[in-house]
Amino acid sequence: MSRRNAFSSPLAALAAIILCVLSAPAQTASNALERIKLPPGFNIELYARVPGARSMVVMDDWGVVLVGSRGPRIHAVIDDDRDGRADRVIKLFSGLNVANGIAWKDDWFYVAEQHRLVRYRAPDLATLAKAEPEVLFDQLPDDSWHGWRYADFGPDGALYVSVGAPCNICTVNGLEGTIVRLKAPDWKPEIFASGVRNSVGFAFHPKTGHLFFTDNGADGMGDDSPPDELNHASASGLWFGYPWFGGGKDRTPDFAGRPLPRDATSPAISFGAHVAALGVSFITGRHFPSAYQGDAIVAQHGSWNRSVPDGYRLARIRFDKQTHMALSWEPFAEGWLGADGTAWGRPVDVKMTAAGNLLVSDDKAGAIYRISHE
């Protein structure tokens, strides 16, 4: 069976778990999206309704987007007729332990749960829906504080998984506060980057292959401290400062009097405090203007305890076209936060499609949006 036809007839058997048919977006969503401000020439529309939508894997060959959550479920968004619009959403898996970290490679679907890494055989969607998990590693720190993983494969073929610190500010042990790298056949994690408080988004630069990851700063240090970060891990073994630093150059009160254990790698980009920078995607789609190529988009989920809310936007990261270094950031899409400080949506993850559009997940609105350029 070809991938193109993998879910035409076999998925008829999955009709009992279809959640919704997306023939017409809800009027309320259409009205809300009218508030989103984008640069001239860009357009945003509702792609799918997905409860708690967070991390995404775009399966262009299948016409499918796999969607993780901070809960027990993973959904599949299906574009049956390949017209770039979702036709239906099915619940693919349930009963998982925080199904946020998802990745795909060579006909295998990987899920980094809070406590373990598993994979499912996935030559096509019908097979994946019935697959049993193969446990690759089951000793991730099983703590609900910052226990939602992020996962993606690097250009070296290894799977990278983020492991947050189990606290606001504290001493970390073992794999805590790191990004780990796992390789076949033993899938034993090695620490790639340390001193990372809580990364829930990263991507590999399309030219250099270097890892760029977001990190959320500590709470309780004031409205404007510490900054959230976009970090550049050009090699393995770098230390990014936590818990001596809460974010950027801001020292935490708990560790202010202690000498640094080693030199810390400073952020490539510092965002505002508490904006909750999450998903990252480099712009490679041909539909985006040439000036955007090689830049990145970061989802700022939005603050939860800042006296004046901040974030709730997509940020454009400008990169130098010759050195491929991050230069600055600016708002790209805004409007999920109302003038009264009330948010109706919170962007989480961003992914480019083969057609050159940008998909954006929103766990508050339970939606995926598509941003395109004229």
Please report the DSSP string for 94-117 in residue order.
-S-S---EEEEETTEEEEE-SS-E
DSSP state letter for 14: G
pLDDT digits (tens, 9 = 90+) for 121-135: 999 999 999 999 999
Torsion of CA 167, 53, 203, 230, to 10 degrees: -50
pLDDT digits (tens, 9 = 90+) for 201-216: 999 999 999 999 999 9
Nearest C-alpha neighbor of 251 from the set 223, 225, 277: 225
Mean of pLDDT over the chain: 92
Residues 6 or more apart whose Cβ sits within 8 Å of residue 120: 108, 109, 111, 128, 131, 132, 133, 134
Q: Report how far apart, in Å, the C-alpha atoms of 172 and of each of 141, 168, 195, 198, 225 are.
A: 11, 11, 9, 12, 21
pLDDT for res 11: 42
Residue recorded with tokens 């800042």: 306
Tell whether the torsion through CA atoms of 42, 45, 48 and 51 is positive or negative. Answer: positive
- Cα of first residue to Cα of last residue in the chain, in angstroms, is 36
pLDDT digits (tens, 9 = 90+) for 60-100: 999 999 999 999 999 999 999 988 889 999 999 999 999 99
Q: Is the pLDDT of residue 22 over 50?
A: no
Residue recorded with tokens 């009992």: 16
pLDDT for res 29: 56
Give the number of residues written for the chain: 374
Mean pLDDT of the 159-188 span: 98
Q: Report how far apart, in Å, the C-alpha atoms of 345 and of each of 110, 203, 285, 353 are.
A: 28, 23, 25, 22
pLDDT for res 26: 41
> Which CATH number applies to 95-353?
2.120.10.30
Mean pLDDT of the 18-28 span: 41
Pairing of strands 88-93, 101-105: unpaired
